[in-house]
Structure 1
């Protein structure tokens, strides 16, 4: 019932992977690293998730229905803190999961000191991807939504002119222009939104070698409201909208967020897609 992906196997080695699959080092019971509820590797499909820092690695387990077996790069500080927590909690029951983040893709998104990602543009400049979460009504139904807005122009890799190509890049990836906020965008295959332990961790995109990899990651997991999380779980998807720099801004209320999005839609400056929910 245990799944060990090829990327996890390549990190831990064939011998250790075979021992895990043989049941030697896999716990019968565990706390899912995604949804934080108990799991049983003898009774239900289980994924191995390897959190890798600069010098430390921690193997965790998750329900296969929550997330697939994968390698998740995290900062060494996060991983050391997780190991400390695991050591403290081992006497009381299943070990808590390490924080979930996702790797960055050079030229598309990279870690930054804020809960955002950076995209180099002109020399000496970097655009930070701001993330705003809120419920957006689609025909009377509240959809968990994410609005992605950079702080400056985002260019293609190698572009040093400062020309903003953010929406073009996303349309190349399959996002579609939004013309009506009341209509739910089509689902984009291969992309997903990772929510773990009740917080937003990453937006994932298809990896060239198969599976998923990080497009955006939170430097620190972002807290979302119960209503947002409930809507995401109920519909098993999240709507992602993207706008150019300065188009929407950080709106303090959902009604103001919608008004700003509607203005951007009227100007033809919004692309979007529905992304499946990974985790809970």
Structure 2
């Protein structure tokens, strides 16, 4: 039976025309599925459904999502993250993990904290990103300083001196929520690449609270704040996280951007 399936040009290019046509004809497409984003049931025979292709170094996984949750797209992910996603689909629990920095030449880990920030009377779902150590530019000599914030500013993040209004949107970027968990922060592809690539990606899918997800679904936007190593720290409560962000902003050690939410 033909399916109400969206297969983007990027997905078609990866899987080939023959496989794409078979999917559209319903040969290899399940009628019912669990949405890879919101994890609620879907039916490709009754409602618009997106094909989402997760591609790692050696593995590719084709998933299905409500068209209203995710557009059909190719998502480049680390091989270990993709294997973790496969285990998550199978029902195996996954611990919260960090991610590797996509900028700079230093192999530091990026710590990511999710929280709700009250700005101008509205709760904003927020991700706070802080490396475990200094981030240097590619090719820089060791001990040359921390270029994390300058690199992000060059990418379009804006310096923040006080959290009195939400930051501007960063075109082409988005926050990917798949299978009900945080998977990546995506940026535009480079060198003519049409699809987005991961700027930050979780080693293991990152859990977010129901309140955070509800706020994100309401605004369809996530605030991403970033600060150099040692600026924020691991804060056990959202009020303490806010205090640390306010202090970092006042000291000129905070950048931020707003990004659309991909998924629910």
Gaps of 5+ in 1: 86-95, 100-112
* Residue 221 of structure 2: aligned partner: 237
1:199 and 2:202 matched:
no
* Residue 106 of structure 1: aligned partner: none
1:210 and 2:213 matched:
no
Given the two structures, how large is their TM-score scaled by the length of structure 2?
0.85
Q: Taking CA–CA contacts closer than 8 Å with sequence separation of 6 or more, which of the two structures ends up with the larger relative contact order?
A: 2
Tell me how far apart the structure 2 counterparts of residues 256 and 170 of structure 1 sit (CA, whole Å): 24
Shift of 1:32: 1.1
* Residue 116 of structure 1: aligned partner: 99
Shift of 1:65: 2.1
8 Å CA contact 1:143–1:232 kept in 2: the answer is yes
Tell me how far apart the structure 2 counterparts of residues 207 and 10 of structure 1 sit (CA, whole Å): 16
Matches within 5 A, 1:97-136: 114-118=97-101, 126-136=107-117
Shift of 1:10: 3.0
Which of 121, 140, 156 lines up with 1:140 in the alignment? Answer: 121
Q: Give the number of equivalent residue pairs.
A: 253
1:17 and 2:23 matched:
no
Shift of 1:273: 0.8
Secondary structure, aligned partner of 2:29: coil
Tell me how far apart the structure 2 counterparts of residues 212 and 120 of structure 1 sit (CA, whole Å): 16
Could you give the per-residue CA deviations for residues 49-85 of structure 1, whole angstroms, max 9, x where no partner exists? 22345554432211122222233444364366367x3
Cα-Cα RMSD = 2.6
1:256 and 2:262 matched:
no
Compare 190-199 and 139-148 and name the one that shifted more.
190-199
* Residue 104 of structure 1: aligned partner: none
Secondary structure, aligned partner of 1:21: helix
1:78 and 2:81 matched:
no
Rate the CA distance shift 1:57–1:244 in 2: closer, same or farther, 3 A. Answer: closer
1:265 and 2:249 matched:
yes
Shift of 1:149: 0.7
Tell me how far apart the structure 1 counterparts of residues 85 and 240 of structure 2 sit (CA, whole Å): 38
Could you give the per-residue CA deviations for residues 133-189 of structure 1, whole angstroms, max 9, x where no partner exists? 111110222211111111111122222343211111111111111122121111111
Tell me how far apart the structure 2 counterparts of residues 270 and 81 of structure 1 sit (CA, whole Å): 36
Shift of 1:192: 1.0
Shift of 1:12: 2.1
* Residue 110 of structure 1: aligned partner: none
8 Å CA contact 1:176–1:272 kept in 2: the answer is yes
Tell me how far apart the structure 1 counterparts of residues 252 and 87 of structure 2 sit (CA, whole Å): 45
Shift of 1:249: 0.9
1:175 and 2:157 matched:
yes
Secondary structure, aligned partner of 2:108: strand
Shift of 1:121: 5.9
Compare 168-177 and 63-72 and name the one that shifted more.
63-72
Tell me how far apart the structure 2 counterparts of residues 34 and 119 of structure 1 sit (CA, whole Å): 24
Tell me how far apart the structure 1 counterparts of residues 86 and 179 of structure 2 sit (CA, whole Å): 18
